[in-house]
Chains A and B, each alone.
Chain A
Amino acid sequence: MYPLTEWRERILPVIDSLRRAGVATEDEFLQIGACLQDFYVKSREISRLARQLVELLGGDDYHAMTDTLQRLINEIGEYLHTAKYRGTETLDTLRQVLGLLEAVSEPLEGFRKIYKTLRMLGISTKIESARLGELGNGFTVLAVDVEKLSCMVNEKTEAILTQYQQLEQIIVQNQQVCKHNALLQHVELNAILGMMVTSFEGLAELNNRCSGCGSVAGTVADEVAASISEVVTSMQTHDIMRQQMEHVTEALDGLAGELDVNAGMDDRGDSFEAVVSRTGDVCELQLAQVRYAGAGLCNAVVTIIRNLNDIGARQSLLANEIVTATGAAGISGSSCLDDLRTGLAGAGAVLSKCIESDRMLSMALERVAGTIGEISRSVGVIESICAEIDLIALNAQIKAAHTGLDGAALGVLAEAIKSLSLQATSHAETISNTLSAINDVTDNLVSRAKCEQASLEDRMAGLGAKAEGIISSVERINEESNALFADLVGSVEMLNSEIHHATSSITVHDAIESLTSQVAAELDEMVAQARARVPGTNDFYNNLKHMTASYTMQSERRIHDEIVRIHSGQAASVGVEPALLLSDAGSESEFGDNVDLF
Chain B
Amino acid sequence: MSKMIMTADDSASVRQMVVFSLKQNGYDVIEAVDGRDALAKLSTQKVDMLITDLNMPNLDGIGLIKGVRSGALNRLIPIVMLTTESQESKKMEGKAAGATGWIIKPFKPEQLLAVVKKVLG
A residues in contact (CB < 8 Å) with B: 26, 29-30, 33-34, 36-37, 40, 228-229, 232-240, 242-243, 552-554, 579, 582-586, 591-592, 594-598
Contacts and interface: CB of A to CB of B under 8 A. Distances in A.
A595 B103 contact: yes
B16 A594 contact: no
A240 B91 CA distance: 18
B106 A236 contact: yes
B88 A586 contact: yes
A552 B85 CA distance: 4
B107 A586 contact: no
Given A29-B13, A594-B103, A598-B99, A228 B83 contact: no
A233 B107 contact: yes
Contact of B11 (A239, A586, A592, A595): A239
A358 to B, nearest CB: 65
A508 B21 CA distance: 23
Given A29-B13, A238-B11, A552-B83, A579 B88 contact: yes
A592 B24 contact: no
A217 to B, nearest CB: 19
A298 to B, nearest CB: 16
Closest 10 CB pairs of A and B: A236-B106, A239-B11, A594-B104, A597-B101, A33-B16, A29-B13, A552-B85, A596-B102, A233-B106, A584-B86
A598 to B, nearest CB: 5
A229 B103 CA distance: 16
B91 A596 contact: yes
Given A239-B13, A597-B100, A598-B102, 10 more contacts: A33-B16, A34-B16, A36-B20, A236-B14, A553-B84, A554-B86, A584-B104, A596-B101, A596-B102, A597-B101
Contact of A597 (B16, B21, B55, B118): B118
Contact of B13 (A30, A37, A228, A579): A30
Main DSSP-derived SS at the A contact region: helix
B99 A33 contact: no
B17 interface: yes
B101 A232 contact: no
16 contacts: A26-B11, A30-B12, A30-B16, A33-B17, A232-B21, A233-B106, A234-B106, A239-B9, A552-B55, A553-B84, A582-B86, A584-B86, A594-B104, A596-B103, A597-B102, A597-B115
Interface of B: 9, 11-14, 16-17, 20-21, 24, 54-55, 83-89, 91, 95, 99-111, 114-115, 118-119
Contacts of A243: 55, 84
A236 B104 CA distance: 11
A33 B102 contact: no
A595 B105 CA distance: 9
Nearest to B115: A591
A558 to B, nearest CB: 11
Contacts of B21: 232
A29 B105 CA distance: 16
B89 A586 contact: no
Contacts of B111: 591-592, 594-595
A238 B103 contact: no
Contact of A239 (B84, B85, B102, B104): B84
A240 B105 CA distance: 8
B55 A229 contact: no
Contacts of A234: 106
Contacts of A232: 17, 20-21, 107-109
Given A33-B20, A40-B24, A235-B13, A598 B95 contact: yes
B17 A240 contact: no
